[in-house]
Chains A and B, each alone.
Chain A
Amino acid sequence: MPSAASKTSTTAEPLAEFREDFLKALRSMVLSRTLEEKLGSLYRAGGRIVGGVYLGRGQEAFSAASGIHLRWGKDVYGPLIRDQAGRIAYGEPVIDTLRTYLGTVTGPMRGRDGNIHRGQPKIGYMAMISHLGSLLSVVAGALFARRLQGRLGDTVGATSIGDGGTSTGAFHEGMNMAAVEKLPLVVSIANNQYAYSTPTARQYACENLVDRAAGYGVAGHCVDGTDLLECVKTFRAAYQQARAGEGPQIVVGRLLRLGGHGEHDDASYVPDLQKHTHEGRDCLAVAQRQAVEHGWLTEKDVLDMQQDAKREVEQAMGLVMKEPAPDPYRENWQALSTAWLVEGQEG
């Protein structure tokens, strides 16, 4: 292991201290899975969702275990493509996902951008652009400004990337810059073994992506991304260190994308054998089992949680279906906020 990297210990600790984090993450996972199943069926039914659908199935534990540490309106979050669970854990209402996928004017993106490209930058919730790697420096910049303005306090920033996205120059530049500035930033790398169809062997040549942490001079953590309890422990440590002024933290989760790159993709390039490996197990089923085993939930509680999630999603869906689509004739076709500088308009 590189010197700067620390592996989370798995020795027996009293687990009670993780109960609350675990249950909060689990609720987000269940809600996320339910919502994404709805999105998948809307996509397959056709008609309502015009663009693609990109799901985080199999990555909910890793995503949610990070998101629970982020305070809506306080911390800076730049989630990526497979972070539905993290977004919920952070506090994004389910209805915002639906509004963005359906492109209604009521949503945060008002039909101007869709699906996973959503956020509210004014409150520190950054809206990803497609270009992988480019959000890291934006999240870092927000933290940098807060420090400059003397209001960083215990603010922390977080962003995510996939195994493929780590190959971009932007990711490297942003990571290095955040390290130089020693910003309180937690960077999740969801190593789900594929970037679209490209396996990791064609993506990078180091043994483990966490090896890069040493190169950046930041702390590195590895975790089994299919194990919610382990994820909860690891992220708690990472956030504690980031908030304590120890600089950026890289957390690499090993898991498998349980589905296609998007719903249009049957992922036939993923060998069946791989789906039956440890990394191919469903983190949600694992987490639900863990909750019962540790006596934190009964079987009935688990079912109730699923029912609650279904109700919440259906309720939101009912509202969104009645909401207006954008009207091109009423749209304000203006890319600058300074109206008098928009060509064709007089000040």
Chain B
Amino acid sequence: MSSITYLEAIREAQYEALKENPNVFLYGQDIGTFGGAFKATKNLGREFPGRVFDAPISEDAMIGMAIGAAVEGARPIIEMQFADFSSVGFNQIVNQAATLYWRTNTPCPITIRLPSGGTAGSGPFHSQSMESIYAHYPGLVILTPATVEDAYWMLLDSVKLEDPVIFCEHKFLYYHLKADDFGQSMPIGKARIARPGRDATVVTYSAMLHESLRAAEELRLDGYEVEVVDLRSVKPMDTDTILASVARTGRLLVVGEAFPWGGVTSEVIARVASEAFHLLDAPPLRLNSKDTPIPYHPNLWKSHRPTTSSIAAELRKLLRY
């Protein structure tokens, strides 16, 4: 019986991190007594007195503070209430944290948790996927766990890394996704074949993994075996695993929930096109959200983001070519 949710995995990883290392502390809005907007830090303030702090609504100062603390040997985990609000701390993330090691030879071990992605009714400012934006900047590690296991182990790994990590945890998976246990840890920076196949490759990550797996299942009924690659970490990106998959299938669809202009999906296509053009039997395709702000009403939202059926439709197009 599956009992642990993706959200519980994130809470447990923080519990473990706090237990393992006295230098770990948590800083975020409403995360203390209240346990966080999503309860990702439930009871942690009680279990670790003096280690879990409510922050003022100051995303810039929250990240700046974490950077200063990290320089002094602390291991801060910063919770953004929603990924969307990290835009207010953007400068500290991309200019202060991401440049620190390169400029000063001083590592910046901070973990920034971004509750990311769309859920019905969340609207334009509580639904964003920021991985592409942050991945653009040198000096950051961008993780996008799609499973309970990865949510747990990759968060623990993030805290141990000496570099700033943008941990994009998907809100849609918080309660929906369950597992029996935390399973096995896999190294950061390695993609995973989530479903083997031979006719086409879907490269994806985070919540879109599950939509893509369902689409692959749909295509199976048509007689196709679609391989699905879960990137796990979008930066660094495991190009080798992607290329190996494309070598097997000759066809590529890349699916991401972020906005369509540039970004992770374009990056995958660019790498495959320039490094493995000869392996392709069809033009590579990409599927993202629409190029508008994220809508509020569920009817609109469902057709704004890629879904099982829109992914299946793209796959059919790809396979017909």
Contact = CB atoms under 8 A, between A and B. Distances in A.
Contacts of A108: 104
B298 interface: no
Interface stretch (B60-68, B169-177, B276-284, B306-314): B60-68
A262 interface: no
B72 interface: yes
B61 A109 contact: no
A9 to B, nearest CB: 33
A338 interface: yes
A129 interface: yes
A170 B162 contact: no
A144 interface: yes
Given A121-B71, A137-B65, A170-B64, A129 B95 contact: yes
A126 B68 contact: yes
A177 interface: yes
Contacts of A338: 141, 161-163
A78 B239 CA distance: 40
A141 B163 contact: no
A16 B144 CA distance: 63
Given A126-B68, A341-B236, A131 B91 contact: yes
Contacts of A141: 64-72, 76
Interface string B131-144: 00000001101000
B64 A134 contact: yes
A292 interface: no
B139 A335 contact: yes
Contact of A180 (B23, B56, B76): B56
Interface residues of B, number: 51
Interface in A112-141: 112-113, 117, 119-122, 124, 126-127, 129-131, 134-141
Given A108-B104, A335-B139, A341 B163 contact: yes
A337 interface: yes
Contact of B103 (A109, A122, A146): A109
A139 B69 CA distance: 8
A342 interface: yes
B60 A336 contact: no
B103 A148 contact: no
Contacts of B106: 120-122
B65 A177 contact: yes
A137 B68 contact: yes
A103 to B, nearest CB: 13
B56 to A, nearest CB: 6
Contacts of A110: 105
Given A112-B102, A173-B58, A336-B141, A134 B236 contact: no
Interface in B68-122: 68-74, 76, 88, 91-92, 95-96, 98-107
Contacts of B200: none
B36 interface: no
B25 interface: yes
A120 B104 CA distance: 7
Contacts of B67: 137-138, 141
Nearest to B109: A337
Contacts of A143: 68
Contacts of A136: 61, 64
25 contacts: A110-B105, A112-B102, A121-B71, A121-B100, A127-B103, A134-B96, A137-B58, A137-B62, A138-B64, A138-B68, A138-B96, A141-B66, A141-B68, A141-B76, A145-B69, A145-B71, A148-B25, A148-B69, A149-B23, A169-B60, A176-B61, A335-B99, A335-B101, A343-B235, A343-B236
Complex A-B, nearest 9 residue pairs according to Cβ-Cβ distance, in ascending order: A141-B68, A137-B64, A141-B65, A173-B61, A145-B69, A173-B58, A145-B72, A335-B138, A335-B139
Given A174-B65, A338-B161, 8 more contacts: A76-B68, A109-B103, A122-B106, A134-B95, A137-B63, A141-B72, A149-B23, A149-B73
Interface of A: 76, 108-110, 112-113, 117, 119-122, 124, 126-127, 129-131, 134-146, 148-149, 169-170, 173-174, 176-177, 180, 334-338, 340-343
Interface of B: 23, 25, 50-51, 55-56, 58-74, 76, 88, 91-92, 95-96, 98-107, 138-139, 141, 161-163, 188-189, 235-237, 239
